[in-house]
Each structure stands twice: as C-alpha cells, then as structure tokens.
Amino acid sequence: MPQTAIPCLLIRGGTSKGPFFNAADLPADTATRDRVLLAAVGSPDPRQIDGVGGAHPLTSKVGIVSRSTRPGIDLEFLFAQLQPNKATVDTTPNCGNMLAGVVPFALETGLVAPRGDTSTYRVLTLNTDMAADITVQTPGGQLESEGDARIDGAPGSAAPITINFLDTAGSVCPGLLPTGRVRDTVTVTGEGFEPFTLDVTCIDNGMPLVIFRASDVGCTGAETVAELNADTALKARIEALRLQISPRMGLGDVSAKNYPKMTLVAPPVAGGAIATRSFIPHVCHDAIGVLAAVTVGTACVLEGSVCEGVAQMPPPVPGALRAVSVEHPTGEFSVALATAPDNPQQVTQAALLRTARVLMRGEVLVPASVWPR
C-alpha cells in the first residue's frame, strides 16, 4: 500500500518548531490521530531519524488548527507535545511559542483572510480553553515574514507577532494559585538524598509552574544548561519535589505528565528582573517557554512569592502595565503584566511579542499501516 500523504506546514513558532496541520486533514479519533503524529515526527527514537522531529522536546511539537464556529472566536488551536524517546502525545498543556504559528498557518492555508496592513484574530487554545488576540503584519494583503523584531533563542529577526492573552489564570490547575497560597513550605523526601525543606510558589498563569530559589537547592542560578542537565543528583531532587507538590496543586499523579514545569529563580545578572533555569520538566530548557515566562513574571508582581527579594522590580503603579524581563540561558524574555487596582493578587492582562516563520509546505508521509485512509 502507498504511504498516506497529509498536507502540512513546518513552522518555527517563537523558539519552538514543528509540523502544523488542519484538523480536517487528520483522523477524527484520538488514538489514530496520535499514532499519525508519532509517525510524522518519528517518535519514539532519540534522533527521530524516521520523521520530521528535531530530536529535542522543543522541536517535537505539533500544531493542529481549525476555523472556529464559536461566537467571537476566529480559530481553534490544539497543541500536542511529543517526546523524542517516548510514544506519548500530550495535549494537556499550552505552548505560547507554537501559538505564534497559528495565524501564519491559517493565512497560508486560507482558513482566514487578511484584514488590512495588520490583522488580528482571536484564537482559542483547546488544551486549556484559553483565548488570545494575535496580531500579525499583512501589508498589501500578504503575510509578512521579514522584519526587525528579535527574540532571544531564535536567530536573526522577523516580523513581529503580538499575543495578548485574555484569560490565562488556572490554565490547567484550579486557579492562579492552586494551593490557595502564594508561598508554600515543602519538606522533600526521596531515595538517594537527605530530606530538605524549601519554599515554593505554585502558580499557573498559562503554564503550571513550581518556582523555587536556586540557592535552596544548592545552585547559583547562573549554571549552564549542560551543567544542570549533567547534575543527576539535582534532577532527582527536583523530580521528587515535582511529584510531591503536584497533588497539592490539584494535578494528582504527574509521573507521566509534562507538567508542572520546575523553575529555579535567582537575582538577574544581565540587567533583567529575574534569572531563571526552567526544567520541562526533566530537561533544562535552553531558553524559557512563552507561558512559563508569563507565569514567572506573574510571580514577580505578586506580593509574598518566592520571587520577592530576588526579582529586581520597579515600584508598582496601580492599574499600569509592569514590564518584567525574565532572563534565561540564551537571553531574556519580556512580558507586560497588569494587576487589578483593588486586588494586587489578580492579574488582569498579560501580553508579549513573538515571531514565527513558515519553513516548508507540502505533505508529510506516514505508513499506510498507521493510517490507511
């Protein structure tokens, strides 16, 4: 039997990359769809040599897009996180980087039409029922790819893509602060290390995170990605913390899940507000995810979080946007946040800048034994 050909665009979204599909071109049932996605990227295989994956979690991602029939929504987006060495397809978390590729995909495939020199569309992320207004450059009715916008973690520059998140609090967890507190004290136990106690902030403003001070686990927060990935003892302690705190966040057993992400914070070293090292959750991220940066930034503006006394923030102005520059191993990520004038623990707006580029268009081929269609 011939292989099954599926229309596809390969897109870099922010600092991630992966194939994008029209939902109508994929199998309707979830089990078959997941087998197709695994075959397309070449998982499980550390090199993903038999697929279009990039042998890294950041390049083992898939976007599935459809035109929406819901009032006030233009497009619907389902994000799928795959892994190079696992046969898993996780559609639970968000990905703000891949979100940046949704509108370019929709314009290139005719799901939506340009709306002037700039075009804004409301996109609903189905993973967490989160909506965002996404603005792209469309001069002369054509999607613009080139421009002067730069983001750390992606080479060169490109046309800006503005993402204004409308409601990110409690994307996966029961709320912004899923334990009901801005700070929790945890005593972590496990095999191979002595019990240790530390303060954490469990928070979900688009991505569930457990944030803790690097100094509390014997780090400076300036370690390289390679150093942290090679520190198996540290990773064992962080994973024990993740498994132990997740039930308090309403997440249950997360041993087979890609969340919550684990984030070390330390004083900034390059003029930003705070330095981070993010585990996603078992590998240290070369940068930081979009929604993880939003969530870290949120912790920086909340009184009493573990970021207090670590982050270098200007005094708040009631109701005004506060810019938070989140440093990561390959640069920084700036987000803009606003809190309610009458409730400093309520975040009312989160906005950021991304870029994206369509890299290739065509068809991805999967074995007919996976999906004969």
pLDDT digits (tens, 9 = 90+) for 314-365: 877 665 678 899 999 999 988 988 878 788 778 888 888 899 999 999 999 9
User: pLDDT band for position 91 (50/70/90)?
Assistant: very high
CA distance readout (Å), 300 to 25, 182, 239, 295, 349 = 42, 11, 24, 9, 14
- Closest to 332 (Cα-Cα) out of 316, 353, 315, 357: 353
- Domain residues for the domain of 115 are 4-160+356-366
Residue 372 lies in a domain: no
Please, which residues bridge with residue 242 across strands? none
Domain CATH code at residue 131: 3.10.310.10
243 and 95 housed in the same domain: no
User: pLDDT band for position 187 (50/70/90)?
Assistant: very high
Residue 195 lies in a domain: yes
Amino acid at 343: N
User: pTM for the whole thing?
Assistant: 0.74
Residue 176 lies in a domain: no
SS3 state of residue 336: strand
6-20, 125-139, 163-177, 180-194: range with lowest mean pLDDT: 163-177
Burial of 45 per CB tally in 10 Å (0-12, 13-18, 19+): middle
Residue 88 lies in a domain: yes
CA–CA gap between residue 88 and residue 57 (Å, rounded): 12
134 and 207 housed in the same domain: no
The mean pLDDT of 117-145, rounded to a whole number, is 95
**pLDDT given at position 320:** 67
pLDDT surpasses 80 at 70? yes
pLDDT surpasses 80 at 309? yes
317 and 229 housed in the same domain: yes
- Closest to 204 (Cα-Cα) out of 220, 228, 180: 180
Residue 43 lies in a domain: yes
221 and 87 housed in the same domain: no
pLDDT surpasses 70 at 256? yes
CA–CA gap between residue 101 and residue 159 (Å, rounded): 12
β strands within 68-114, DSSP E: 75-83, 86-90
pLDDT surpasses 90 at 243? yes
Residue 178 lies in a domain: no
pLDDT surpasses 90 at 128? no
**pLDDT given at position 166:** 84
The mean pLDDT of 197-202, rounded to a whole number, is 98
138 and 192 housed in the same domain: no
154 and 107 housed in the same domain: yes
135 and 215 housed in the same domain: no
341 and 244 housed in the same domain: yes
Q: How many domains does the chain have?
A: 2
Residue 173 lies in a domain: no
52-56, 91-95, 120-124: range with lowest mean pLDDT: 91-95
321 and 200 housed in the same domain: yes
CB atoms within 10 A of CB 155: 8
Tens-digit pLDDT profile for residues 11-44: 999 999 999 999 999 999 999 999 999 999 999 9
The mean pLDDT of 290-316, rounded to a whole number, is 92
**pLDDT given at position 339:** 79
Helix (H) or strand (E) holding 33: helix 30-41
- Closest to 37 (Cα-Cα) out of 366, 259, 372: 366
112-126, 203-217, 294-308, 315-329: range with lowest mean pLDDT: 315-329
213 and 347 housed in the same domain: yes
80 and 189 housed in the same domain: no
CA–CA gap between residue 259 and residue 292 (Å, rounded): 11
pLDDT surpasses 90 at 61? yes
The mean pLDDT of 210-234, rounded to a whole number, is 97
69-73, 240-244, 299-303, 306-310: range with lowest mean pLDDT: 299-303
Report residue 180 as tokens: 């009901």
Residue 215 lies in a domain: yes
Going by the DSSP 8-state scheme, the letter that residue 3 receives in this structure is P
**pLDDT given at position 319:** 59
pLDDT surpasses 70 at 277? yes
127 and 192 housed in the same domain: no
Pairing of strands 61-67, 16-22: parallel
